[in-house]
């Protein structure tokens, strides 16, 4: 197996290389596109990897819960917007009737995404709207203040209605992608907090939701940083996931991922490692990853990644990952 390599440039590094704050970046689609183009030009000149930053409609991680009605906090400092978890949508199961799917063009951060998508299209960029997240358990935690875990134990059938509502909202947005872009965004779940469920509860509550999200999809990508080996085996056996991305994968070893997924998983050098490793440590870590059986080796630079570590990482990735770059 010849692994491929990837660089996860995101809002953190794009704003760094473009010399722009988060408020400026998310405040206007004009700024967003300008930042992405500037960052791509910079990393191409500095590191020769500009192709990893292509124009795309970006949103903070809180977009889906914001779409459902959760309030968003926009910090005065240069920090990312975040959900105000002190103001849950529902605090009692009896309030489920209050949940509804709003107009994506008018609600929360989704409205800003719609504005950005229109702007990119007007400038000739064919980009996906891609508003689906597949973050069922994580979203349930955000809109209920983590009460969902208690409800799933005490009133499982009623609590399942909360999860089913979230799935219906996700499927609604999937339909918007098809309507706007003429193509399906593919099967994706990104649900860190599902790993907080016991394997039995994961099978009972999370899996049926993911089955609906993956329905009709050949590619079934899963991201989750808190799964254990028992969860991943269930996901592989019952959902037939085709690729697993654990990022830091706090509760999974590389050996376990390989035993369960074969080659179909990602490994990642984290932002903390990108900052703190010496160049020698960086080289050794990437060499280890390139020979662990993973299909993809990813680096995730942050705002404080030293240039020498970027240079070292890219050189070693190009040398050790014979499958080439995965753009």
Query: How many angstroms separate the first and last alpha carbons of the chain?
Result: 18
pTM for this model (two decimals): 0.95
Q: Find residue 265's DSSP bridge partners.
A: 244
Q: Which residue has the tokens 């799933």?
A: 152
pLDDT values of the chain reduced to their tens digit, one per residue, 327 residues: 899 999 999 999 999 999 999 999 999 999 999 999 999 999 999 999 999 999 999 999 889 999 999 999 988 888 999 999 889 999 999 999 999 999 999 999 999 999 999 999 999 999 999 888 899 999 999 999 989 999 999 999 999 999 999 999 999 999 999 999 887 778 999 999 999 999 999 999 999 999 999 999 999 999 999 999 999 999 999 999 999 999 888 899 999 999 999 999 999 999 999 999 999 999 999 999 999 999 999 999 999 999 999 999 999 999 999 999 999
Beta strands in 202-254 (DSSP E): 220-223, 243-245
Q: If you search the block for the tokens 């995965």, which residue do you land on?
A: 326
Contact 3, 321 (CB under 8 A): yes
What is the rounded CA–CA span in Å between residue 26 and residue 58? 8
Which pair of tokens denotes residue 284? 């050794």
Overall size of the chain counted in residues: 327
Distance from C-alpha of 136 to C-alpha of 206, rounded to nearest angstrom: 8
What strands, in cross-sheet order, belong to the sheet with 187-190?
187-190, 220-223, 243-245, 265-269, 296-299, 4-7, 324-325
Quote the pLDDT of residue 249.
Answer: 87
- The answer to whether 213 and 167 have CB atoms below 8 angstroms apart is yes
Please give the pLDDT value at position 27.
93
């Amino acid at each position: 197996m010849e692994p491929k390599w990837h660089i996860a440039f995101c809002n953190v590094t794009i704003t760094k290389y473009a010399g722009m704050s988060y408020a400026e970046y998310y405040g206007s689609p004009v700024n967003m596109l300008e930042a992405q183009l500037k960052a791509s030009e910079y990393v191409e000149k500095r590191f020769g990897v500009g192709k990893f930053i292509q124009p795309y409609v970006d949103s903070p991680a809180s977009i889906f819960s914001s779409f459902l009605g959760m309030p968003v906090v926009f910090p005065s400092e240069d920090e990312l917007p975040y959900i105000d978890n002190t103001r849950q949508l529902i605090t009692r199961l009896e309030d489920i009737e209050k949940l509804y799917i709003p107009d994506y063009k008018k609600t929360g951060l989704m409205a800003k995404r719609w504005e950005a998508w229109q702007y990119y299209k007007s400038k000739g960029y064919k980009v996906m709207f891609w508003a689906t997240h597949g973050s069922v358990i994580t979203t349930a935690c955000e809109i209920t203040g983590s009460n969902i875990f208690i409800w799933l134990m005490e009133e499982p059938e009623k609590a399942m209605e909360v999860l089913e509502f979230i799935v219906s909202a996700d499927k609604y947005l999937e339909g918007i992608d098809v309507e706007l872009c003429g193509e399906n965004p593919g099967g994706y779940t990104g649900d860190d907090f599902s790993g907080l469920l016991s394997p039995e509860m994961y099978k009972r509550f999370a899996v049926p939701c993911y089955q609906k999200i993956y329905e009709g999809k050949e590619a079934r990508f899963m991201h989750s940083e808190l799964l254990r080996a028992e969860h991943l085996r269930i996901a592989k056996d019952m959902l037939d996931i085709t690729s697993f991305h654990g990022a830091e994968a706090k509760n999974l070893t590389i050996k376990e991922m390989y035993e369960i997924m074969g080659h179909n998983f990602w490994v990642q050098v984290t932002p903390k490692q990108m900052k703190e490793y010496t160049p020698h440590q960086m080289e050794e870590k990437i060499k280890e990853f390139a020979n662990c059986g993973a299909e993809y080796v990813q680096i995730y630079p942050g705002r404080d990644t030293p240039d020498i570590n970027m240079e070292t990482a890219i050189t070693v990735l190009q040398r050790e990952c014979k499958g080439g770059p995965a753009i």
